[in-house]
Each structure stands twice: as structure tokens, then as C-alpha cells.
Amino acid sequence: MYSSLSKIFIYILIFFIFLSNINAHSSNQKILYSRKSISNYFSGIISSNNNNNKLALKYLNNISHLKNNHDQYNRELVFTLVQTRKISELFLYLKKLEKKNLNFFNANLLLGINYFLEKNYIKSISYFNSIVQTRKFSDFEKLIAQSLLSYIKVFKNQLEDYKAERNINIFPENYKYFTLINNAFINCYLDNKKVEENFLRIINPNTLNFTRYNFFYINFLVSKNRKNEALKILEKKNDKFNTNLLLDQTRSWFNKGKVNRVKKIFDCRNPNHLISEFFYLIANLYSSKENYVLSNFYLNLSLYLNSDFIFNNALLAENYFYLEDYQNSKKIYLQFNSKNPIYDWHAKKRLVWIKSKIENNESAINFLNKSFNKIENPTVKNYYDLANIYKDFEKYEESIKYYTKVLNNISYDHPLYSKILHRRGMSYERLKLWKKSENDLIQSLSLVPEEPYVLNYLAYSWLERNINLKKSIEMLKVAFNKKREDPYIIDSLGWGMYLTGRYEEAETLLQKAVQLMPLDPIVNDHYADILWKLNKNLQANYFWNYVLNLETTGNEMKDKIKEKLILGIENHS
């Protein structure tokens, strides 16, 4: 509620600032002040903030007369045009307003890109320089502009003597990888001797381990007809489970004799492709920080500059999913098909979750089964994915079936063997097959001793059945010392203390767990039980009532809590 009111206040404040800046004697005054203009203005901004970009554009286009009077209008329109992929239209719009001195970041950025595309490098450089030299722009915005300047200057002068050290000091320490990546691509563009050295610095697991950039090194090797060397990199990175979609898809092309597909989607001698990949880097950074709207802004620019790199759409679809824009996410995922089987299966898995959101779980599972049955030769990784999805949908019998199939097809010393045992053990536990669950979890611990999440799961399953209490607490203490801020482990240890009558210690732990997971019904219920045992009945009743009102509280738990509110804890401990 507070957030919504704050936004409305900001909208009102912006609008009144806008009104105060209008010439009182303007001939367009009646239009500007009209109820329709005001309505379109607010509807456009609110639609934009709700990520309904097509609707926002419709409203904003209805008040195009604001472009000469209202800077905020131009900001909103520019952003919305990019989000709706009307970038060519956007460039024309900005150039018409160019003389109005549109001094906001996106205008300078986009005009710089426009002139870059026109190969007017002098004007492009002037716009990126204006970002770097203007105080009001953020350090990160200046970093983006400085990176683009590095590229444009090279494109302008074809600098064969380009040196990394020229740029190494312009970036803050936490963004030094920008320099490494930029240098690799620029040297690839210049086709000089430093290309391989630069790519190896990026993909070296002892430095940054940006797995994605293995593809670009492979791309370079393929462009030099060094297919066998490229294949060695793919073989080195061939982990059946810890995979990268782009590398997996590249491996699929190699296996099917379609190596030229690698060159079709990216060419480091193409300036547009280099800038496109730079924008993808920015988009990925914003997405990792959960700023999905801004991530999509840069993704749309990236895709405009290199439409052949269709796989970048996967991040766009993922962002829409997290924004709960399931229709747009679905629309993008449906564009993937069997021509690129790795991305096709990835898209199908995501569509399962979208169907569960917009339809129901039954429809989602039916779609999963149909999609899986269309895979010609399912891999161990496909079966592992299938098992995980079944488990997440609480189809535990099916998950056990496929986890078992995977275990039978990998070696005992495989790094994922213990994790699959953990997952299968969890599925057994959900079915109350206690002995089988314990066997899997104990075997998992024998492979990876003191793994905190396995310790926690096994110990808590014992606590729930009120057995092996002393051993459970010992195990949970080990897990807690490894993951002191994990709320689930804190809750388990606190519950162990409760069951053994150590209520004061339990209260301290559960209080922290509640702070870390305030919306979890089980944690709050545990805390209330402990408060009751400490004769803090009013506080206990408060938390029980709170749990009753949580959306995620199940009916069975609600019934138990209603009895606690009447009878207290004695009959329900």
C-alpha cells in the first residue's frame, strides 16, 4: 500500500512540475490542461510502471503534443518505444527532438547508437562523451558510455595497435571484467595476435569463469577453420548436468555437422554484433540484480543490433516470467523449436511453469509429458530435468522413478550422485517411506560428509517423528555452523531445542528464523509454540492468528492452530 501511494504521489508531483513549466500564454494551453490529456498522461505512466508497455505507448501517443513541453513525457516515451521494440521509430523521434537538448541518459545513449549505426562516428562519440562528462549521470551510466566509446573509437580508426592498458584504469575494481571482455572482443575485431590471450583470461576458471564466453572463443576458432581446437573446448566443458545452454546448443550443432551455425549468429568482425553483446552483458547484470524491466531495455537494444542471436530471447522470456507477464514470456518461448533442440527443451520446461500459473497443474504436467515424449533420444540430463519438475509438482512417485533412472546411468563418483540421492530421499520422505529416505540421505552424506542441507533434511525428518533427537541436534549444530544465516536450518535447530525442553535457546533461534522468513507459516507456528511454553500466551496467540491469515497456510495446519487457540499447547505438542 505504501509503495503504491508513493508512486501516485510521485506522478502527481511530476505532473504539477510539468504544469508549472508551461507557458501560461500558450495557444495550446487548453489542450495541455484538458481532462483527456491529463488522463492519457497518468494512464501512460501507470501502464509503463505496470510493465504494460503496449498500452502505455497507446496512451502516450495520444498526447504527442507534450514532446516540446515536457521532459518527463519524452523519458517515458523513449523507454516505452524500446520496450515495445519500435527502435527505428524511436531513432526518428529523437532526431526530430535533437535540437531540444534532450539531456537525459537514454536520449544520449540512443542517439549515440543511432549515429554509430549510420557510421557517423564523430557524432556518436560526442553523445557518449556527453554522458561521461555530465555530472548528473550515475557512475554506472558513465561506465556504459565509456565502454561504448572504446568500441566506437576502434571502429572509427581501425586501431591496429589497440592496447588493453589504455582502458584498464577507467573502470572501478568491481567492474574490471568489463575491460577484459571489451578487450577480447575489440582484439577479435582487429584480428590481432592478442585475441586468444584475451579470451583465455575470461574463460579461465581460476579468474572469472564466464562460461558464456567459451562460445565466443569457439566462434573465433571456427571462423579461423580451427574446428578441432573448438571441439576440444566443448569436450572440456562437457558436464552432463552443470551445463550452459549456449554451449550445449553449440555442441549439438557440432554433433550434427552444422558447425556453420556457430558463425551465423555472431561475427566479431561485425561492429553491430559487438555492441549487441555488450548490451546483453548489461542486461544480464541487471537481471541478476532482479531489475528485470531495465534488463529488458538493454536486451531489446541487443536484439535490435543482432537479430540473428535468437537465443538471447531466452533471457527476455525469463525476465517477463519473473515480472509475472506470463503471456509475453509464453509468446517468446513458443518461438523456440526442434531446429535448436537444447533451447527447445529449455523453453518447454519454462512453458510448463507458465501453464501452471495461467491454467493449472494438471495442464502443466500433461504438457510436460507430451513435450518429453517428442524428444527423439532423451539424454540423462533430460531425465534429470524431468525428475526435478515432477518433484517440484509434488509428483513424488514419478520423480523417484526418474531419479533412479539417472542414478543407474551415472558413476558412483559423479559429483551429482550425492545430490540426486538427496533429492530422491526427499521424495521418499514426502511419501512417508522413511527407511528408503534415510538410506538415500545417509548414503548422500557418506559421499559428501557434513553437507548442511542434507544434514538438515535428515535431522528434521527425525524431529518430525520425535526420534533420534540427540543425534539430530548434533547434526543440526554442524549444519548451523556452516550456514549460520539459513532460516530453514535455524528453524530446525530451534525446533530440536524445543523438543528437548531447551525453550530459551529455542526462542532465540526461532526469533531469528521468523525475522528471516516472516511469511513462512511453519516457522511462525514453531515460534508460537515456544512462546506458549515460556508462558508468553498473548504473544503466542498473536503469532497463531498471524499464521491463520497467511495465504500459504494449509487447511490442516489452520485446523490445528484453531484448536491451539482454544486449548493451548499441551494437547498438541
Contact 317, 286 (CB under 8 A): no
pLDDT of residue 37: 61
User: Residue 271 to residues 154, 178, 298: CA-CA distances in angstroms?
Assistant: 10, 17, 17
Q: What is the pLDDT of residues 179-220, one digit of tens each?
A: 888 889 999 999 988 898 889 888 875 555 578 999 999 999
- Mean pLDDT, rounded, for 531-560: 95
| Comparison of pLDDT for 35 and 297, the residue scoring more | 297
Q: How confident is the model at residue 177 (pLDDT cuts 50, 70, 90)?
A: confident
Using a 10 angstrom Cβ sphere, with 0-12 exposed, 13-18 middle and 19 or more buried, the burial of residue 310 is middle
Contact 69, 32 (CB under 8 A): yes
Here the cell at position 161 is: 595497435
Q: How confident is the model at residue 22 (pLDDT cuts 50, 70, 90)?
A: very low
Q: What is the pLDDT of residues 459-504, one digit of tens each?
A: 999 999 999 999 999 999 999 999 999 999 999 999 999 999 999 9
Share of residues in the chain with pLDDT > 70 (%): 82
Q: How far apart, in whole angstroms, are the C-alpha atoms of residue 461 and residue 259?
A: 51
Work out the mean pLDDT of the chain and round it to a whole number: 87
Q: How far apart, in whole angstroms, are the C-alpha atoms of residue 454 and residue 450?
A: 8
Alpha helices by DSSP H, listed for 379-451, are 380-392, 396-407, 417-430, 434-447
Here the cell at position 492 is: 530446525
Here the cell at position 343 is: 533451447
Q: What is the pLDDT of residues 80-108, one digit of tens each?
A: 889 989 999 999 888 888 777 678 899 99
User: Is the pLDDT score of 269 beyond 90?
Assistant: yes
Q: How far apart, in whole angstroms, are the C-alpha atoms of residue 411 and residue 415?
A: 9
Using a 10 angstrom Cβ sphere, with 0-12 exposed, 13-18 middle and 19 or more buried, the burial of residue 293 is middle
Using a 10 angstrom Cβ sphere, with 0-12 exposed, 13-18 middle and 19 or more buried, the burial of residue 301 is buried
Here the cell at position 9 is: 504521489
Share of residues in the chain with pLDDT > 90 (%): 68
Q: What is the pLDDT of residues 241-253, one digit of tens each?
A: 667 899 999 999 9
Here the cell at position 360 is: 493449472
- Mean pLDDT, rounded, for 384-389: 96
Residue in 78, 73, 97 with CA at minimum distance from that of residue 21: 73
Residue in 158, 160, 156 with CA at minimum distance from that of residue 122: 156
